Amino acid sequence: MERKTLRLGVDINLELTERTVQTHCNKVLAKLAECNVPAEKIDALKNNDPLPYPEIVNMGGEKKQEHARYGRKFEVSMLQFNTGIYACCGITVPKHQDHNFMI
């Protein structure tokens, strides 16, 4: 379960049950599909561990993995933006689909 949450950028809270964490992961996947993210991209997120991004300062061990985890969370969050058009004025605006997931 920890590996799946790492891949989807979901934070793990020790007080949550495994079923609650699974439900949250399923909601993230549903929101990605709702935003018309290609199935290949969703499969790539589900099946690949996040890689550490290049950094200016030499990081190692735990900090490097934490950096990769936050990078994946940012990537998944950016994929959850969708555009909407206001009916009253016709303005097109970006909107995040999952307000609980925003960074």
pLDDT of residue 102: 55
Q: Residue 101: pLDDT above 70?
A: no
- The domain locations on the chain are 2-96
**Encoding tokens for residue 81?**
């933006």
Condensed to tens digits (0 to 9), the pLDDT of residues 8-66 reads 888 776 677 888 888 888 888 998 888 888 999 999 999 998 887 777 878 878 888 88
How big is the chain, counted in residues?
A: 103
What region does 73 belong to: left with phi over 0, alpha with psi -120 to 50, or beta?
alpha
pLDDT at 14: 65
pLDDT at 41: 93
